[in-house]
Amino acid sequence: MLMSSNDAAAILLYEPNGFSVRKAGSHVICAVSSRQIPLEELRYWCVVRQEAYASPELATQRLLGQA
């Protein structure tokens, strides 16, 4: 069965004020929880690590080395 881009994880380039889509998809995967994050809900990421986070708490844990 073929997957549409809506079912696949997107590949993004995370930038300081937003992100650019490199490969279309409906979501990205949280680097800490492995939870799917719909692109329209994506608010937290790290430009240096090029990672997405599902919440500010998870981003803080990762950046403090606790995750």
Determine the pLDDT at residue 7. Answer: 85
Domain-located, residue 34: yes
Domain-located, residue 48: yes
| Total of domains in the chain | 1
Domain-located, residue 49: yes
Please indicate, yes or no, whether the overall pTM of this predicted structure exceeds 0.85: yes
**Residue 22 host element (H or E):** strand 18-23
* Tens of pLDDT, residues 8-65: 999 999 999 999 999 999 999 999 999 999 999 999 999 999 999 999 999 999 999 9
Domain-located, residue 6: no
Token duo for residue 3: 């997957």
Domain-located, residue 52: yes
Q: Which residues contact 26 (CB under 8 A, 6 or more apart)?
A: 5, 6, 7, 8, 9, 10, 38, 39
Q: Does residue 3 carry a pLDDT above 80?
A: no
Determine the pLDDT at residue 44. Answer: 98
Domain-located, residue 59: yes
Domain-located, residue 5: no
**Residue 44 host element (H or E):** strand 44-46
Domain-located, residue 1: no
Q: Which domain holds residue 43?
A: 11-63
